[in-house]
Amino acid sequence: MKKSLVAVLVAILALSSPARDARGAAGEPDGVGLEGKPGTFLPLDATFRDDTGALVRFGDLVDRPLLVSFVYFSCSRQCPLVLGGLAEALGRLPLRPGEDYAVATVSIDEDDTPAAAAAAKRNYLEAIGRPFPASAWKFLTGDREAIRRITAAAGLRFQQHDGHFFHPETVVVVAPGGAVADYLPVEADRNNTRARIAFQPALIQLALADARSGRIAPPRPLQTLYCFPHEREPERAFYRILKVFGVVNLLGIAAVAVYLVFVKPRPAGKAQG
């Protein structure tokens, strides 16, 4: 009896703890979203600082197909998962980094520094799991104007709140010359017990080949994963309701358990003959 009660209590607790999906069922917050813009040129004259502190002109990075991700380095939610998933996929990509393609990660936080970029770069180069030229993956920081220009051209809209950022996660495939060729799907891996973002190396390889050939993907709706540093108010209210519901259920289960164990009379034993 007691084992059954414990199992029921565990089940109630599991149901009362909602799984949080960064897609946000309540919809996009105002001013945040991702609009695919295949064929649009990213600003070639925009300048950033790389992880060594050196000035980098964005146009100098697009002499070959380029994968561009947009994160901020102090993020503890989706951004590390996206970069970790990308690093894992790059480790399985049968292409030559720095020759067949390059990678750039642009911080959307104007307060991020080259030192923060360098720390992030060390982590994700190690996560690749095989030798990878440091020059083939740039971690870039910039001022407000440079950040706004490149994110607007890529179709990314974000908002800052209390030092954190609401933004869509995306990896943009850029063709040589700087035109947006395609967007890689960024999705949570629902088949894994750990929270992670997975990219398919075969899809990356195909997208890079198309970009190298100058093929631009047709416009299409993008299924977007959002990075929220904390729950929005509708979600917080929903979670509060679920917690109250869970507490009420637990109290009911506890009352039944007390009744069954301590109050309910037990049937008398058979009379001895």
Does 156 lie in the same domain as 220?
Answer: yes
Does 101 lie in the same domain as 7?
Answer: no
Indicate whether 23 belongs to any domain: no
Percent of the chain with pLDDT over 90: 63
> What pLDDT is stored for residue 194 in this prediction?
53
Indicate whether 75 belongs to any domain: yes
Measured between alpha carbons, how far is 155 from 183 in angstroms, rounded to an integer?
11
pLDDT-based confidence at 238, cuts 50/70/90? Answer: very low
Does 162 lie in the same domain as 204?
Answer: yes
pLDDT per position as a tens digit, 36-93? 999 999 999 999 999 999 999 999 999 999 999 999 999 999 999 999 999 999 999 9
Indicate whether 25 belongs to any domain: no
pLDDT per position as a tens digit, 101-129? 999 999 999 999 999 999 999 999 999 99
Measured between alpha carbons, how far is 261 from 93 in angstroms, rounded to an integer?
61
Task: For residue 197, give the CATH number of its domain.
Answer: 3.40.30.10
Does 71 lie in the same domain as 8?
Answer: no
Which residues lie below 8 Å from residue 162, measured CB to CB, with a gap of 6+?
229
Average of per-residue pLDDT values in the chain? 82
Does 158 lie in the same domain as 176?
Answer: yes
Measured between alpha carbons, how far is 186 from 167 in angstroms, rounded to an integer?
13
Indicate whether 249 belongs to any domain: yes
Q: How far is CA 188 from the centre of its chain?
A: 7
Does 140 lie in the same domain as 189?
Answer: yes
Does 216 lie in the same domain as 257?
Answer: no
Indicate whether 28 belongs to any domain: no
Indicate whether 22 belongs to any domain: no
Residues in a beta bridge with 107: 71
> What pLDDT is stored for residue 161 in this prediction?
84
Domain count, the chain: 2
User: What is the mean pLDDT of the segment spanning 133-144?
Assistant: 98
Q: How far is CA 76 from the centre of its chain?
A: 10
Indicate whether 272 belongs to any domain: no
Does 172 lie in the same domain as 254?
Answer: no
Q: Decide: 83 and 119 in contact? Cβ < 8 Å.
A: no
Measured between alpha carbons, how far is 158 from 107 in angstroms, rounded to an integer?
12
> What pLDDT is stored for residue 224 in this prediction?
85
Does 64 lie in the same domain as 12?
Answer: no
User: What is the mean pLDDT of the segment spanning 197-205?
Assistant: 95
Does 219 lie in the same domain as 238?
Answer: no
The DSSP secondary structure of 16-31, one letter per residue, reads HSPPP-TT-TT-PPTT
Indicate whether 268 belongs to any domain: no
pLDDT per position as a tens digit, 2-26? 444 444 443 444 434 433 344 443 4
Domain that holds residue 6: 2-17+233-263
pLDDT at residue 234 greater than cutoff 50: no
Does 41 lie in the same domain as 172?
Answer: yes
Does 175 lie in the same domain as 47?
Answer: yes
Percent of the chain with pLDDT over 70: 71
